[in-house]
Amino acid sequence: MKRIYAFLFLFMFMCFLAGCKKNKGSAEMQMRQARLPVVSYIVVKPQKVVLTKELPGRVAAYKTARIIPQVSGVILKRVFKEGSYVKEGELLYIIDPKPYEAALERAEAALKAAEAQLPALSRKVRRYARLVRTHSISRQVYDDTKAALDQLKAQIKLYKAQIKSAKINLDYCYIKAPINGIIGRSYITEGQVVYAYQPNPLAIIQNFDPVYVDATISTEELYELRKKRASKLLEYTPDMDKNVQLILEDGSIYPEKGILQFNEVTVDKTTDSVVLRIKFPNKNKVLLPHMFVRVKIIEGMMKNAILIPEEAVKFDRKGDPYVFVVDEQNRAVIRPITIERSIGNKWLVTSGLKENDRVIVKGFQYIRPGVPVKPVLEHPQGGSR
């Protein structure tokens, strides 16, 4: 009986020791877990992203007409008001028409004189034609008379052309607007002499509804854009060229969207760039010629883009980017990445990360590469759970 009690006592004692060791191990594990650095992480999820490129540009008038005189003379009158809107065909200047009226009258008089000689000379040629057949006159007399008639007819054509030219020149004395638009200041005054096709304009008319924006893009950027579209890295449709965004000088967004018209085929050798021309509506005349603006063109849509917060990306001494990820053993591991650009407050990552990777965004001050961590999922709003 004593042996049985001794055995039971020994068995209970051993169980007690085992329980104490188990509790001690569990407590040590809890303490070790409590000492692990806490980090917040996000889970990488590829998404669709529309990529845009911002370019500098300047506003250009849709149409520009330099008012150049086509005849010489004295300016008698300026009809328009500077800075006003003029319509096509509206009178702008009057050049003294008297010299051109006189030229027209001379041409008309010369025509009448020639036409007055025509009937008699025509009858004479017909009469000589009959006489030459009967050898009543010599062939030479007939030929000379026929040549005089042909010369008179040629002179009549010349006088008619001179009349037409004189009328054109007389019409040019009344300088009219070739296009609709806003006319600027007049560079000449009444009484000044102007010359036909002089290099300096009398005034300039500009039509800026709509307007063009000439944006510059480097040849390298243009080549990269075309290469991405051709390789299908970006999904592109022609409709994307009809949604160009305009940013004004004060940073505000212009309410109307523009349409990409074309790009120059010649490279500017001083800047190694080409010009993209975009057309924008301008009903309220907000956009003025030569104004500096910026445009955002759509490059295309990336289907499986990886975006991570800017605070998650670190840079080594060489300037190469990397992130910390949480591996399967809950250790902080360095992962080199390749970033292309920033989009808002995030980086676009093109290599180094894949779907479901856990990227650390907070708690860097407590970790080193390879150390165990206690990961906590980051809320989209910035909190943890």
At 5 the pLDDT is 52
In angstroms, rounded to a whole number, what is the distance separating the alpha carbons of residues 245 and 300? 14
Name residue 41's amino acid: Y
Say whether pLDDT at 22 is over 80. no
Say whether pLDDT at 27 is over 60. no
At 29 the pLDDT is 47
Angle at 106 between CA 102 and CA 112, to 5 degrees: 140
Say whether pLDDT at 195 is over 50. yes
At 1, the pLDDT band (50, 70, 90 cuts) reads: low
256-281 tens-digit pLDDT: 999 998 776 677 777 888 899 999 99
Tell which phi-psi region holds residue 310, choosing left (phi > 0), alpha (psi between -120 and 50) or beta: alpha
Q: Which CATH class is domain 37-48+304-377?
A: mainly beta
Q: List the structure tokens of 129.
A: 């034609």
Name residue 12's amino acid: M
Tell which phi-psi region holds residue 370, choosing left (phi > 0), alpha (psi between -120 and 50) or beta: left
- Domain 69-93+177-200, CATH among 1.10.1370.30, 3.40.50.2000, 3.90.76.10, 2.40.50.100: 2.40.50.100
Q: List the structure tokens of 272.
A: 């190694």
Q: How many CA atoms lie within 13 A of 94 on its CB side?
A: 7
Residues 23-47, mean pLDDT to the nearest whole number: 72
Q: Which of 73, 75, 72 is nearest to 189 (CA)?
A: 75
In angstroms, rounded to a whole number, what is the distance separating the alpha carbons of residues 385 and 374? 12
For CATH 2.40.50.100, the residue range(s) in the chain are 69-93+177-200
Q: Which CATH class is domain 98-172?
A: mainly alpha
At 359 the pLDDT is 95
326-366 tens-digit pLDDT: 999 999 999 999 998 898 899 999 999 999 999 999 988 88
Residue pair 192/45 in contact (Cβ under 8 Å)? The answer is no
At 24, the pLDDT band (50, 70, 90 cuts) reads: very low
CATH fold for domain 52-61+208-300: Elongation Factor Tu (Ef-tu); domain 3 (2.40.30)
For CATH 2.40.30.170, the residue range(s) in the chain are 52-61+208-300
DSSP 242: G
Residues 202-222, mean pLDDT to the nearest whole number: 92
Rounded mean pLDDT of the chain?
Answer: 88
277-318 tens-digit pLDDT: 999 999 988 999 999 999 999 989 998 899 999 999 999 999
At 12 the pLDDT is 62
Q: List the structure tokens of 73.
A: 């003379």
Model pTM? 0.69
For CATH 2.40.420.20, the residue range(s) in the chain are 37-48+304-377
Query: How distant, in Å, are the alpha carbons of 12, 304, 328, 382, 385 from that of 356?
Result: 50, 13, 12, 19, 18
At 55 the pLDDT is 93
Q: List the structure tokens of 329.
A: 């053993």
Say whether pLDDT at 74 is over 60. yes
At 14, the pLDDT band (50, 70, 90 cuts) reads: low
- Name the percent of the chain lying above pLDDT 70: 89
Residues 120-130, mean pLDDT to the nearest whole number: 92
